[in-house]
Amino acid sequence: MQYQFDWIATVTGEPGRWLWEGFVTTIEISFIGIVFAMLLGIAICVLRMTRFKPFVWFSVAYTEFFRNTPLLVQIFFWYFGAGVILPEALNDWINQLYYWFPGPFAFGGTEYTGEWMLFSSESMSVVIALAVYTSAFIAEELRAGIFSIPKNQLEASRATGLTFLQSYRYVILPQAIRIVVPPLISQFLNLIKNSSLAMALGVTELTYQATQIESYHGLAFEGFTVATLIYLIISLVVSLAINMYNKHFMLQVKY
């Protein structure tokens, strides 16, 4: 008997609601992860460029460790391992965040109450793992961008009286970030796709919800196809942003 596809049932009713919830959770995790990954990446890159050896050794160890260990293992570490060394009061506070912050995408009259999944301990562990893992790659991308800037710009900024940190903040980093925006966006896109690993902790993101649709409604092909298309749309939007940047805002560095 030939399989009968039911696309309408996949995007409406309970399956459709699950897919929307998964999409929202994926965007929440990815957006916060990107923000913290960028901040951490900039900090690690600046430490790597200093002349203070302990900072350099720390930044090298940081990038090499997190770039060369599996992301899934890091997610499990932050969830199962990190909580052991945190104070009990801090663990209790983290667990309460989930109930204190209502989410912006509530569905009236349904079981979904709109809480921000980001504030569950599982989601926070995933966000930390994604941010730390991606920041190691971002730091290396930024370092490559800094090396593409003529050294005399740093020397000139220091000659005007700026400190080392001020020189990087106002002169070097703004140029480096503009140069490496295309590879940075690729890292952001990788983070969004890597957020699917959150299902390992039971976080109800997009991939998890697709498995729910398969388990409860038997719509395996349809559920995973729609989830794949959603990821594809996100990727195409990011790719379009990269192309627009390259066309209109690419910074040309002259030597």
Residues 6+ apart with CB under 8 A from 147: none
| DSSP summary character for residue 253 | P
Query: What integer pLDDT is reported at residue 41 of this predicted model?
Result: 93
Who has greater pLDDT, 146 or 94?
146
Q: What share of the chain is helix, strand, coil (3-state, %, to 5)?
A: 80, 0, 20
> Do 26 and 193 contact (CB within 8 A), yes or no?
no
Please report the pLDDT score of residue 86 as a whole number. Answer: 64
Give 180's pLDDT tier (boundaries 50, 70, 90): confident
Cα torsion angle, 43, 116, 208, 223, sign: negative
DSSP-based three-state secondary structure for 115: strand
Residues in the chain: 255
Confidence class for position 182, pLDDT limits 50, 70, 90:
confident
Query: Is 12 in contact with 177 (CB distance < 8 Å)?
Result: no
Query: What's the mean pLDDT in 189-205?
Result: 91
Q: Kindly report, residue by residue over 60-77, the tens digit of the pLDDT.
A: 999 999 999 999 999 999
SS3 label, residue 220 = helix
**Interval 108-121: pLDDT, tens:** 333 444 444 555 77
- What is the set of domains in the chain, with CATH numbers? 7-68+126-248 (1.10.3720.10)
Rounded-to-integer distance, Cα 166 and Cα 125, Å: 33
Look at 35-44, 105-114, 192-201 and tell me which has the smallest mean pLDDT: 105-114
Which amino acid, one-letter code, is at 184? L
Sign of CA dihedral 45, 137, 209, 105: positive
In angstroms, the CA 110 to CA 100 distance is: 20
Please report the pLDDT score of residue 91 as a whole number: 61
The DSSP 8-state label assigned to residue 221 in this structure reads: H
Angle, CA 113 vertex, CA 109 and CA 115 arms, to 5°: 165
- Distance of alpha carbon 36 from alpha carbon 51, whole angstroms: 25
Q: Tokens representing 157?
A: 């900024």
